[in-house]
């Protein structure tokens, strides 16, 4: 049986004692990923900045597991304001320009995001 591997990413941490992600065999599941700047530890200013930083962190989590965005199977996203999907879609299309090779995505209205967080996600990937 394959052992679970706990993954930590430089500049990415939670206030609670949980890792950035965990991998068991080819399956990777992240914790919550938001738009915090790994260099400063502060949330990005505005939704555009937070979306860009969140996607940067997604890439970092995937790389820590030996993967790339091509290994992403699903992304679940919570927005503070569900009607403001433009900045999210901009980053999504930059990461996945080919409509025939995009992972699944679910976008939900978030009730009660921590103060200052405008967007957050979790990812599931399959890394052979």
Measured CA to CA, the distance from residue 98 to residue 128 in angstroms comes to 21
Distance of CA 55 to the CA centre of its chain: 6
- Beta pairing, strands 27-30 & 119-126: antiparallel
SS3 of 45, please? coil
For the stretch 28-84, pLDDT in tens is: 999 999 999 999 989 999 999 999 999 999 999 999 999 999 999 999 999 999 899
Name the average pLDDT for the chain: 92
Is position 47 within any domain? yes
User: Could you give phi then psi for residue 2, rounded to 5 degrees?
Assistant: -75, 135
At 29, which CATH number?
A: 3.30.1330.40
Is position 52 within any domain? yes
Is position 4 within any domain? no
Is position 6 within any domain? no
Is position 8 within any domain? no
> 120, 31 in Cβ contact below 8 A?
no
What is this structure's pTM? 0.93
For the chain, how many structural domains are there in total? 1
Is position 13 within any domain? no
Of 69, 126, 57, the closest CA to residue 95 belongs to 69
> 38, 8 in Cβ contact below 8 A?
no
Is position 10 within any domain? no
For the stretch 103-124, pLDDT in tens is: 999 999 987 777 889 999 999 9
Maximum CA extent, the chain? 44
SS3 of 71, please? helix
Domain range enclosing 73: 18-126
């Amino acid at each position: 049986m394959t052992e679970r591997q706990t993954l930590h990413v430089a500049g990415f941490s939670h206030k609670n004692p949980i890792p950035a992600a965990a991998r068991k065999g080819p399956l990777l599941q992240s914790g919550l990923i938001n738009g915090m700047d790994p260099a400063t530890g502060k949330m990005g200013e505005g939704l555009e900045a937070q979306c860009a930083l969140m996607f940067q962190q997604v890439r970092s989590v995937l790389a820590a597991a030996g993967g790339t965005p091509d290994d992403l199977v699903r992304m679940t996203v919570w927005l503070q304001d569900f009607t403001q999907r433009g900045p999210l879609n901009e980053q999504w299309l930059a990461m996945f320009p080919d409509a025939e090779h995009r992972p699944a995505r679910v976008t939900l209205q978030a009730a009660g995001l921590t103060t200052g967080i405008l967007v957050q996600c979790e990812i599931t990937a399959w890394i052979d």
